[in-house]
Amino acid sequence: MMQRLSTFISNNRKIIPMTTTAVLAVAAYLIGMAYFEGLRNPQVFLNVFRNTSYILISAIGMTFVILSKGIDLSVSGVVALTTVVSAALLRDDWNPWAVILLVLLIGMSLGLVMGCFIVYLKVQPFIATLAGMWFARGMCFFISDNAIAIDNSTFKILGQTQLLIPGLKELADKAGTPAPYISIPVVVGFVLLAAAFYMAHYTRFGRNVYAIGGNQQSARLMGLPVNRTLLMVYTFNGFCSAMAGLAFALFVSSGHGLYAPGFEMDVIASVVIGGTLLSGGSGYILGTLFGVMVLGITQVLIQFIGSLSSWWTKIVIGVLMLAFIGVQAVLANRKTGEKALDPQAARLRRQRLAVGLGTAVVLVVLAIIFVPKLSSSSAGNTPEAECVVVPFRKEDAAALIADGAVIAYNRIAGPNCVDEMYAIYPDGRVTGDNAVSQVKKQVTSAEVELLMATISDEYGWYTNEIRDTYHHPCRQCYAHYLIVNRNGQEKGVTAVDGGVNMPPNYGFSLSIIRPLLPVINPAP
């Protein structure tokens, strides 16, 4: 049995990582559907692509870089620079199509420059692209220290247009639910994915990339244009990074130098989880799509669980990366090992394979066990009778803001139908009550200021993307009402965990507010 498994893996090792990722993405979503009824809404699934479209676009370019045995850390800086340049030029009444063309040229130019350093000056890709990231970030703040809102009508149309899915609209009409839709950046991402798939597998450029990643010295001896191909790879990745920046700008309707922190890690993780080997020369563009899906589905599941911080996404992706890198190492050892090994070496190889497969199985089993336990135990035991969801205390929240609070946050519903009201003041005072008991906490004013700056500037609180998405919450989901008052500008928004249109940055805002809040004992 072990011999047959070993032979099967040897014959199909190139597609095993991608297939594993695809199975993981499908299994994770099916498990979520079994425990969260809201995930059965087609719009929730489509939102996985809406919320990760800019990651997919950037990951396509990164796939070519990693296939060539390189790395590019500049993508987050280029994304931020693209948002700032776009917002600044649109503020100065530039033609929006000229702005789009210009920022794409800027991204390609930055990629070409970094490629020249890597190819001709023999600078390590890690160092060259790290310098590129800091240069792009610095240029953002050279242009503007603050967030710049995008009010251009063309950009708003591109960002807010809802494209209906053929066939699903009729089903939605019969069910009496809103028609599922996707956004223009999603379409751009899939068009770019199809073009990249053709480039990678049906053009001389793609074959050259695989050959260079497999063995650059052998590629040179074969007469392949190594230098030119690498320059094209980094230029194309710069194009994808700028395109991702445009998609992100459409997503948040603003530009800021602090946008997309750690974005390069999400992109690299998506590519690696999608089955592209960090050692280069092996991987598929389609696998990157599945890697992005795993990232997006993980975020959705954490939102539906409701009691977990958004940092759990990083934890899960980190564990998956370790598992996939381990499997990659096993497969690489099988690929580079001698054909005729002594029995002891063959036995050691099978043991490594068993460890890799065992790790993957354990992760799947833990997911099956862990997710339902989190959903059922996040707020204690599920009550036998249906509890009553109280309305938001908007008047109380307004009174707290009038009293000087910069944040008023009301959380209701959930398994036990909670009703919690919190207020955060500029001097660090934090209060909370559940209509029965009151609690207080003291933090520093610097923590409050950092919190406010992050919510308003980094997460784009005062943009059209942050909007009301309230609907009656399910049995597991919490509903939220959050007012932010910064420099006299006030905005209150309602949303529900896992809402079909819940803006991701709303959830991120809640995740950084929660650590500052005091713990309220449950009401009897």
Digit-coded pLDDT (tens) for 34-45: 888 778 888 888
Same domain, 302 and 347: yes
Digit-coded pLDDT (tens) for 48-75: 998 899 999 999 999 999 999 999 999 9
Q: Which residue has the higher pLDDT, 166 or 449?
A: 449
Q: 274 near 197, Cβ under 8 Å?
A: no
366 pLDDT more than 70: no
Same domain, 209 and 121: yes
Same domain, 460 and 403: yes
Whole-angstrom Cα distance, residue 18 to residue 355? Answer: 19
User: For the chain, what is the mean pLDDT?
Assistant: 83
Total domains, the chain: 2
Instruction: Say if 90 falls within a structural domain.
Output: yes
Same domain, 400 and 337: no
Domain end: 373, 407, 438, which one?
Answer: 373
Instruction: Say if 339 falls within a structural domain.
Output: yes
Same domain, 199 and 340: yes
| Residue 499 pLDDT | 52
3-state secondary structure 368-410: HHHHHHHHHHECECCCCCCCCCCCCCHHHHHHHHHCCCCEEEE
Instruction: Say if 494 falls within a structural domain.
Output: yes
Domain end: 344, 373, 402, which one?
Answer: 373
Residue with tokens 């425990």: 35
| Residue 340 pLDDT | 45
Region for residue 61 given its phi and psi (left: phi exceeds 0; alpha: psi -120 to 50; beta: otherwise) = alpha
Same domain, 281 and 321: yes
Digit-coded pLDDT (tens) for 398-441: 999 999 999 999 998 876 788 899 999 999 999 999 878 889 99
User: Which of these ranges, 2-6, 276-280, 465-469, has the smallest mean pLDDT?
Assistant: 2-6
Domain extent, residue 207, equals: 2-8+15-163+176-373
Record the pTM.
Answer: 0.70
Query: Per-residue pLDDT averaged across 103-125, rounded?
Result: 96
Same domain, 416 and 448: yes
Q: 51 near 301, Cβ under 8 Å?
A: no
Instruction: Say if 389 falls within a structural domain.
Output: no
User: Which of these ranges, 168-172, 213-217, 333-337, has the smallest mean pLDDT?
Assistant: 333-337
Instruction: Say if 387 falls within a structural domain.
Output: no
Whole-angstrom Cα distance, residue 334 to residue 346? Answer: 10
Same domain, 418 and 327: no
Instruction: Say if 31 falls within a structural domain.
Output: yes
* Tokens encoding 187: 């379409």
346: domain CATH number is: 1.10.3470
pLDDT bin (cut points 50, 70, 90) of residue 368 is very low
Instruction: Say if 381 falls within a structural domain.
Output: no
pLDDT bin (cut points 50, 70, 90) of residue 108 is very high
| Residue 238 pLDDT | 96
Q: Which one-letter amino acid corresponds to residue 165?
A: I
pLDDT bin (cut points 50, 70, 90) of residue 361 is low
Same domain, 322 and 351: yes
| Residue 243 pLDDT | 97
In this structure, which long-range contacts are made by residues 207-215, counting pairs with CB atoms below 8 Å and at least 24 apart in sequence?
Answer: 209/64, 209/67, 209/68, 209/233, 210/67, 210/281, 210/282, 211/281, 212/68, 212/69, 212/280, 212/281, 213/66, 213/67, 213/68, 213/69, 213/279, 213/280, 213/281, 213/282, 214/280, 214/281, 214/282, 215/281
Q: Which one-letter amino acid corresponds to residue 430?
A: V
Same domain, 185 and 334: yes
Q: 72 near 242, Cβ under 8 Å?
A: no
Domain end: 317, 341, 373, which one?
Answer: 373
Same domain, 363 and 414: no
Same domain, 361 and 407: no
Instruction: Say if 101 falls within a structural domain.
Output: yes
